[in-house]
Amino acid sequence: MAHNLNFNEHTGRYSFFSVKEKAWHNLGQIVTEYPTSAEAIKHAGLDYEVAKAPLYTKGSDIIQTASGLETGGEVAVPNYFANVRTDNNAVLGVVGRDYHIVQNRDAFAFFDAIVGGGDGILYETAGALGNGERIFITAKLPGYIRVGNGEDVTEKYIFLTTSHDGSGSITAAFTPIRVVCQNTVNAALRNMSNVVRIKHTAGAKQRLEDAHKVMGLANTLSSQLEGIFNDWATVKVTDNEVKKLIQLALCPNKETFDLLKKGAEDELSTVFKNTVDEAFAYAMISDTQQMETTKGTLFGAYNAVTGYYQNVRNYKDDEAKLQSIIMGGTAQGKAQKAFELCSSFAKDGNGILLLN
């Protein structure tokens, strides 16, 4: 299976760990008990330091030099540095003068700090991608989101990712996962995002340690989503309404929307129609969609879209799937659109078609 996990040639191990079973990339060290943050760092091969090193030019080339390396007549590049792993001198990226490195251990400390030393939080997966320029951590929070009779359970997670290559920010996202189908049902409400972003600046470490607001965000969203999903589980929808929801949620552009609005389905692209058919089939025949909470309900319609991207759609590799579903990619955007459509439908209350 294609993946981009960091492989440490010195230890002969991939930089990843998972509790009890292998995660989305099927590699890494499997541990039987939930580790502490210090143990998780070692299990995942994240116990390395990152340092800034000066950049020099030589002819038309830009090269990185470690401390003490002879540079001869080379000229220093002002205001730019290379982020380097100190254990193997791998260059992870080029950054500016004001870029502040957040070490891997400090990213883990984010979780320990917001729960008063780690009580109640469980580290489930962690790893490094590429040469170690991007790390990710998944931590399970206490409690559940329960829908219907209480048997349709969603577990609560915080997914944190950060990089050492100068791209993006430190991102912590509240990410609920529906247990029955391992389906990510993360959603941003209109008055509240499910993501907290922290820039790589001099104050990043302090803000990371003070990010208890993420726990408040998770608690508030959990309560609100539980109420919303339970409401949706009581709202009946027709098969035709489910299909229209899927069409609107997956609609790629205004041209397609205009065709849908005027009912010209014969003019829709074959690719779009096939995608809609696959998602609709998932809604109609998947065992996970035929529960009391999902069969013929608005909650089931929502899960048709999120579940399609989680369990049906093909991706280039597992890293691309993670990017799409959790890290702000296409699947996450489509799931958010489905959430907003379902919210509007639930408020309407008279069963009219979603397309108007």
Confidence band for 84, pLDDT divided at 50, 70 and 90: very high
Whether the CB-CB separation of 217 and 174 falls below 8 Å is answered with yes
Question: Does the pLDDT value for residue 199 go beyond 90?
Answer: no
Domains of the chain: which residue ranges?
Answer: 102-229, 233-348
Beta-carbon contacts of 47 under 8 Å, excluding residues fewer than 6 positions away, are 41, 104, 105
* Distance between CA atoms of residues 126 and 147, nearest Å: 29
Question: Does the pLDDT value for residue 115 go beyond 70?
Answer: no
Mean pLDDT for the chain? 79
Q: How far is CA 195 from the centre of its chain?
A: 10
Question: Residue 316's pLDDT is what?
Answer: 86
Question: Residue 349's pLDDT is what?
Answer: 54
Number of H helices, E strands in the chain: 10, 15
Question: Residue 42's pLDDT is what?
Answer: 84
* Distance between CA atoms of residues 288 and 141, nearest Å: 23
Whether the CB-CB separation of 295 and 301 falls below 8 Å is answered with no
DSSP secondary structure code for residue 2 in this structure: -
112-126 average pLDDT score: 67
178: left (phi over 0), alpha (psi -120 to 50) or beta: beta
To which H or E segment does residue 31 belong? strand 29-31
Whether the CB-CB separation of 124 and 19 falls below 8 Å is answered with yes
Nearest residue to 176 via CA among 218, 212, 211: 218
The rounded percent of the chain whose pLDDT value lies above 70 is: 76
288: left (phi over 0), alpha (psi -120 to 50) or beta: alpha
CB-based burial label for 247 (10 Å; 0-12, 13-18, 19+): buried
SS3 114: helix
236 vs 58, residue with greater confidence: 236
266-283 average pLDDT score: 89
300 vs 25, residue with greater confidence: 300
pLDDT single digits (tens) 283-317 = 888 777 788 888 888 989 998 888 888 888 888 87
Alpha helices (H) in the chain, listed in sequence order:
37-43, 104-114, 204-209, 212-232, 239-250, 254-261, 270-285, 298-311, 318-325, 330-348
205 vs 178, residue with greater confidence: 178
Global pTM reads 0.79
